Structure 1
Amino acid sequence: MNNIYDCIVLGGGPSGIKASISCASEKNHVLLLEKLPKIASKLKATGGGKCNLTNTLTTDEFMAKFGKNGRFMSHALEVFDANDLRDFFAKIGVETIARDGFRVFPVNHSSSIILSALDEELKRVGVDIECSVAIQNIKKEDDTFIITSKDKIYKSKNIIIATGGLGYPTLGATGDGYIYAKEFGHTVTSTHPAMMPLITKEKNFASCVADTIAKAILKVNIPKYKNLKLTGDLIFTKEGLRGPVILDFAREITPILEKHNEVPLLISFLKGKNEEEIYKHLKNEIGKNPTHTILENLETLLATSVATEILNICQIDTNLRFKQIEGFKREKLIKTLAWTPFTIIGHEGFKNAMITRGGVDLKQIDSKTMQSKIVDGLYFCGEVVNIDGPCGGYNLQWSFSSGFLAGKLGK
């Protein structure tokens, strides 16, 4: 093939699609290569198919949710923030809404309309798309990148690596982008699965799967990590814990788990009530209903199934009244109600991880262009770089913003 593209984008996820559109909109000849039979497979699965595109936080609040690497995003968000993203989708026929005042979805809460609109926009701006392409080699000779697949050779002045991370390998994630980055001299930080359920040593709460704990507070019970704390809705599973707060906290837990094998957690089911407040509440309940059992007392604080399991942990008969419980067991009950101990012992790996923690080292990427500081004409965007955020539209917004910026090719 003699034709040399202005840019070849590797990866047909949200960042690669946006990079392709952004680049082609600047009158560049762009080719988008995807290894799967269709583009946007992971985007279709995002948010259970509802596609939480972004959220309504200010830029500073948004970046803070990404931790120490958040400031790297400032230029990408400056040129393409949440309002720009919503305007973009409105222009291609997708109206968005934030019904809860925070999370932004398509009005019909379906990823299908997003995919259809992006397909049409790719066609409109003239992006060439080839799917089912298995890349075997990438090299740069003089000022030209040469990409070899099983069947073809592609040439381009620039390439954008938008291959995503390692999560959901069934949707095409294999870490190819990390391999390409290393071959061009880039460092890739250690990678860990994130945003997924966690497995606990304790199985006694398996009977509580029907109950959600609103605004549970989680903290790591290791002195070195005592500042790791998060609040959100928690759900019990037969194997452990899940729910929004767990999906978010998994980003912090998986790297620690690799070092320690077990990670002790303390969880408040009572929105942070301390022992004194809990004891006072129980005394009031006993005063109002002196014949009630301890289970009936606790049902004023927790779902019956959760209250029952906490009593089981403390080896307390659910039919006893508070005054009938031995002193040391009362003390343990109050402590356990304040902070219930759990031990994280595992997870399902990248198989069910929505995102990857870690990636291409940010120090080797120009945040103002997303271009490599090592190789001219090499750009990165989306999850392949060392940036990951919590649930709530953070990671998709980053994908679109970084894709938009990378597609400008430094202009």
Structure 2
Amino acid sequence: MKTYDLIVIGSGAAGMIAGIKAARAGKSVLLLEQQEKLGPKLKATGGGRCNLTNTLDNIDFMNSFGRNGRFMMEAINSFDYKDLMNFFKEIGVETHIPDGFRVFPITHSSSTIIKALEDELIRVGVEVRCNTKAETLLYEDEVIVGVETLDEKFLSPNVVVATGGLGYPMLGANGDGFTFAKKLGHKVTDLYPAMLPLISKEKWVASCKADTIAKAELRIDLPKAKKLKAVGDLIFTSKGVRGPVVLDFSREITPYLEKYGEVPILINMIRGKNEEEVRAHINSEIKSNPDSTILENISSLVPQSVANELCILCEVDTSKKFKDINGQNRDKLIKYLVATPLTIIDHVGFKQAMITRGGISLKEINPKTMQSKIIKGLYFCGEVVDLDGPCGGYNLQWSFSSGNLAGQLLDF
């Protein structure tokens, strides 16, 4: 049995940078990856374009993760987006910020990132074994001693678990990290799919699937969730909704969906305008074109397909003029423009979930080192822990930052 200073399980962003950092410090490192190639999920990040991080300051970045965000203070302060960009520059990858916020490799290809990380792993002497699945974590007297696969045992006083969550099982996600943690006495919070399309009860959405709603505002129409909202581009599908705002907000919806079976949401598709502003807008349209129909009036606010479906929902004759519509129906139409009701009844599951909401309890991990408070020498980083953020490079930055911290083996 061979002995190493560190064994890393998983070759995502967190696992690879943990291995690199430890090897740069002179540690002998073994990296185990169950798939045929390194970085399988990293390859799919950002649709293959690999949005590495973003330019938010550290405080705002942490706040974007919600109430658990402050846990990452040590990790982010030690390795923020500037450090990440410098790290990639060191290993031959130039990055840029085309929209002033999101950071990409200039190639806009995740393959560039994976190749650079793989080359650096080799350069610093990390032993990489693909097609090798860790089956069991070995420990004695609450101290980690190694890892066992189907064929052999590897000894080490340090093990980094960077196995990711449950999203995209075709890329190797199987929840092994959660299983390891539970067997060693760690608590794993409830797990939900996040960053995924949602399915609605209403069928009218299928008539609007060719249109994108810019800067739509989503809210959950439940008493305990009134303060939750998200803003971004929304796309109707044949079965529901998707788009950046849906991917961001799905992490809030899926837990309620499991609890209640369906979740009512309200969508403002008119850039946050209220009822009074809508009336003023329509009156202005009428003044400009006195012969315009209500469909033409509403289509100046939302795409015509959406305008038509809202009129049908509110029993409004699209060929009539605004002033000729029944007052009650006219008021309902304006209300629906400001807050279109939609009922979420399902989602596409972990098979298309980009991330997992929930994970290993943060209370049992030292935020200054990422080491377990239960088992000495055991480290967790990346998506396997109970931290998840919105779209836009947040989760990948967290993976790199936490992997960087874990790979320093500060308690070794």
Contact 1:215–1:233 (CA<8 Å) still a contact in 2? yes
Residue 368 of structure 2 corresponds to 368
Tell me the residue number matched to 1:26: 25
Asked whether 1:349 is paired with 2:349, we answer yes
Q: Which amino acid aligns with 1:332?
A: K
Aligned to 1:219: 219
Mapped partners of 2:166, 2:137: distance in 1 = 20
Is the 2:35–2:172 contact (alpha carbons within 8 Å) kept by the matching residues of 1? Answer: yes
1:99 is matched with which residue?
98
SS at 1:278 equivalent = helix
> Secondary structure at 1:104's aligned position in 2?
strand
SS in 2 for 1:331: helix
Which stretch of structure 1 is more off in the superposition, 202-211 or 366-375?
Answer: 202-211
Deviation, structure 1 residue 132: 1.1
Q: Distance in 2 between matches of 1:103 and 1:276?
A: 36
Match of 2:41 in 1: 42
Q: Structure 2 counterpart of 1:320, which letter?
A: K
Question: What is the aligned partner in structure 2 of residue 288 from structure 1?
Answer: 288
By how many angstroms is 1:312 displaced? 1.2
* C-alpha displacement of 1:136: 2.5
Distance across 2 between alignment mates of 1:291 and 1:141: 83
Listed as ranges, the matches of 1:215-364 within 5 Å are 215-364=215-364
Distance 2:74 2:134 in 1: 31
Q: How does 1:178-193 map to 2 (within 5 A)?
A: 178-193=178-193
Percent pairwise identity? 59
CA deviation profile, 1:75-130 (whole Å, cap 9, x unmatched):
00111111000000001110000110000000111111111111110001100011
Q: Structure 1 residue 135: deviation in Å?
A: 2.5
CA contact (8 A) 1:79 1:405 kept: yes
**What is the SS of the residue equivalent to 2:82?**
helix
Equivalent pair of 1:75/1:367 in contact (CA under 8 Å): yes
Aligned counterpart, 1:76: 75
> Cα deviations across residues 210-253 of structure 1 (Å, max 9, x unaligned)?
21111111111111110111111111100100000000000100
Structure 2: runs of 5 or more not aligned = none
Instruction: State the alpha-carbon separation in 2 of the partners of residues 280 and 89 from structure 1.
Output: 52
Report the equivalent of 1:168. 168
The structural deviation recorded for 1:144 is 5.2
CA distance in 1, matches of 2:247, 2:338: 23
In the TM superposition, what is the alpha-carbon distance from 1:287 to its structure 2 partner? Answer: 2.2
Output the CA distance in 2 between the equivalents of 1:161 and 1:390.
23
Q: Distance in 1 between matches of 2:328 and 2:169?
A: 50
Q: 1:408, 1:146 → 2: CA distance?
A: 18
Match of residue 15 from structure 1: 14
Count of aligned positions: 410
Moved more, 188-197 or 129-138: 129-138
Shift of 1:273: 1.0
Alignment check: 8 A CA contact 2:146 2:158 kept: no
Q: Which amino acid aligns with 1:115?
A: I
Q: Give the secondary-structure state (helix, strand or coil) at the position aligned to 1:272.
A: coil
| Normalised TM-score (structure 2) | 0.98
Other-structure match for 1:384? 384
In terms of mean alpha carbon deviation, does 142-151 or 99-108 score higher? 142-151
Q: Which residue is 1:397 aligned to?
A: 397
CA distance in 1, matches of 2:58, 2:271: 28
Conserved 8 A contact 2:10-2:161? yes
Provide the alpha-carbon RMSD of the alignment: 1.0
Indicate how the Cα distance of structure 1 residues 144 and 185 shifts in structure 2: closer, same or farther if over 3 A, else same. Answer: closer
Secondary structure in 2 aligned to 1:290? coil
Which residue identity does 1:369 align to in structure 2?
T
Which whole-Å CA distance do the structure 2 matches of 1:37 and 1:285 have between them? 60
Counterpart CA distance in 1 for 2:228 and 2:391 is 17
User: Which secondary structure does the structure 2 equivalent of 1:249 belong to?
Assistant: helix
Pairwise CA distance, 1:363:
0.4
Query: 1:144–1:155: 8 Å Cα contact kept in structure 2?
Result: no
- Distance in 2 of aligned mates of 1:391 and 1:4: 39
Where structure 1 has 5 or more consecutive residues not aligned to the other structure, the ranges are none
Give how far 1:137 is off.
Answer: 2.0
The 2-side partners of 1:304 and 1:386 are apart by 42
